[in-house]
Amino acid sequence: MAFTEAEVLAGLAEIVNEETGLAVEAVEANKSFTDDLDIDSISMMTIVVNAEKKFGVKIPDDDVKDLVTVQDAVDYINKAQEA
Amino acid sequence: MTSKVVVTGIGAVTPLGATVDATWEAILAGTSGVHTMDNDWSEKYGLAVDFAAQVDPQVVEDNLKRVQAKRLDPSSQFALISAREAMADAGLEETDPERTAVSWATGIGGVWTLLDAWDTLQEEGPRRVMPLTVPMLMPNGPAAAIGMEFKARAGVQTLVSACASSTESLGHAYDVLASGRADVIIAGGSEAAIHPITLAAFNSMQALSRRTDSPETASRPYDVDRDGFVMGEGAGALILETEDHAKARGAKIYAEVASWGISNDAYHITGGEPEGKHALAAMQQALDAGDLSASEIKHVNAHATSTPVGDIPESLAISELLGDNVGETLVSATKSMTGHLLGGTGAVEAILTVKALQTRTAPPTINIDEVDPKVVGINIVRDTPAELPSGDIAAITNSFGFGGHNAVVAFRSV
Q: Do residues B366 and B409 both lie within one domain? A: yes
- pLDDT tens-place string over residues B276-285: 999 999 999 9
Inform me whether the pLDDT recorded for B94 exceeds 90: no
- pTM across the whole model: 0.95
Q: Which residues of A37-54 are buried (b: 16+ CB within 10 A; e: fewer)?
A: bebeeebbbbbbbbbbee
Which residue range forms the structural domain that includes residue B355?
259-413
- Contact (CB<8Å) A42/B127: no
Q: Which of B64, B65, B132 to mutate to test the interface with A (most CBs of A within 10 A)?
A: B132
Q: Is B306 exposed, middle or buried (0-12, 13-18, 19+ CB in 10 A)?
A: buried
- Residue B134's pLDDT band, with cuts at 50, 70 and 90, is very high
B164 with B75, same domain: the answer is yes
Contacts of A53 in chain B (CB under 8 A): 124, 128
Question: Which CATH number fits the domain that encloses residue B151?
Answer: 3.40.47.10
Q: What is the DSSP string of A50-69?
A: HHHHHHT----HHHHTT--B
Q: Please report whether residue B253 resides in a domain.
A: no
Chain B residue closest in CA terms to A41? B131
Annotated catalytic residue, options B195, B245, B299, B303: B303
Q: Which of B398, B382, B390 has its CA nearest to residue B322?
A: B398
Catalytic residue among B35, B163, B278, B405: B163
Number of domains chain B is built from? 2
B79 — phi, psi (to 5°)? -60, -50
Q: What is the mean pLDDT of chain B?
A: 97
* Contact between chains at B127 and A52 (C-beta distance less than 8 A): yes
Q: Which residues on A lie below 8 Å from B70 (Cβ)? A: 18-19
Minimal C-alpha gap between B134 and chain A (Å)? 12
B-chain residues near A18 (CB < 8 A): 67, 70
Measured between beta carbons, the chain A residues lying within 8 angstroms of B133 are none
Asked if B163 is an active-site residue, the reply is yes
Are residue B314 and residue B180 in the same domain, yes or no? no
Contact B34, B44 (CB under 8 A): no
How close B131 comes to chain A (CA, Å)?
6
- Of B214, B248, B282, the residue at which a domain comes to its end is B248
Which range of residues forms the domain containing residue A34?
Answer: 5-82
Q: Which of B248, B283, B309 is the last residue of a domain?
A: B248
Distance in angstroms (rounded) separating the CA atoms of residues B394 and B8 = 17
Estimate to the nearest angstrom the gap between the alpha carbon of B372 and the chain centroid.
Answer: 25
Q: Residue B188 in 3-state DSSP?
A: strand
pLDDT of residue A1: 66
> Do the chains contact at B128 and A42, CB–CB below 8 Å?
no
Instruction: Decide if A21 and B130 are in contact by the 8 Å CB cutoff.
Output: no
Q: Say whether both B270 and B242 belong to one domain.
A: no
Please choose, from the candidates B412, B405, B414, the residue with its C-alpha nearest in 3D space to the C-alpha of residue B172: B405
B267 with B407, same domain? yes
pLDDT of residue B2: 65
- The count of domains in chain A is 1
Q: What is the CATH number of the domain that holds A68?
A: 1.10.1200.10
Say whether both B194 and B74 belong to one domain. Answer: yes
* Together in a domain, B266 and B235: no
Q: Is residue B254 part of a domain?
A: no
Radius of gyration of chain A (CA): 11
Query: Over the stretch B365-388, which tens digit does the pLDDT of each residue have?
Result: 999 999 999 998 999 999 999 999
Q: Are residues B272 and B237 in the same domain?
A: no
User: pLDDT digits over B53-70, tens only?
Assistant: 999 999 999 999 989 999
| Residue-level pLDDT at B3 | 87
Binary contact (B131, A45; C-beta < 8 A): yes
State yes or no: is B340 an active-site residue: yes
Q: Which of B248, B275, B310 is the last residue of a domain?
A: B248
B161 and B214 in a single domain? The answer is yes
> Does B135 lie in the same domain as B38?
yes
Ramachandran area for residue B373 (φ above 0: left; ψ -120 to 50: alpha; else beta): alpha
Q: What is the pLDDT of residue B332?
A: 98
Chain A nearest CA to B136, separation (Å):
13
pLDDT digits (tens, 9 = 90+) for B246-255: 999 999 999 9
Question: Which one of the listed residues B245, B278, B340, B405 is annotated catalytic?
Answer: B340
Q: How far apart are CA B381 and CA B149, in angstroms?
A: 39
Mean pLDDT of A37-64: 94
In this structure, the answer to whether residues B90 and B221 fall within a common structural domain is yes
Contact B127 A49 (CB under 8 A): yes
Q: Is the model's pLDDT at B1 over the cut of 60?
A: no
Least CB-CB distance to A21: which of B67, B127, B130? B67
Q: What is the pLDDT of residues B295-350, one digit of tens each?
A: 999 999 999 999 999 999 999 999 999 999 999 999 999 999 999 999 999 999 99
In tens, the pLDDT along B255-295 reads 999 999 999 999 999 989 999 999 999 999 999 999 999 99
Backbone angles phi, psi at B258, to 5 degrees: -70, -45
